[in-house]
Amino acid sequence: LAQYEPDFVVVQGDTTTAASAAEAAFYRRMSVIHVEAGLRTDRLDSPFPEEFNRRKVALVAALHCAPTER
pLDDT number for residue 40? 82
67 preceded by cis ω (within 30°)?
A: no
| Low pLDDT (below 70) residues in the chain | none
pLDDT tens digits, one per residue of 52-65: 999 999 999 999 99
Cβ atoms 31, 8 nearer than 8 A: yes
Nearest one of 43, 35, 29 to 14, comparing CA atoms: 35
Alpha-carbon span 20 to 41, nearest angstrom: 21
Q: HSE, CB side, 13 Å, CA atoms: give it for residue 25.
A: 25
pTM confidence score: 0.89
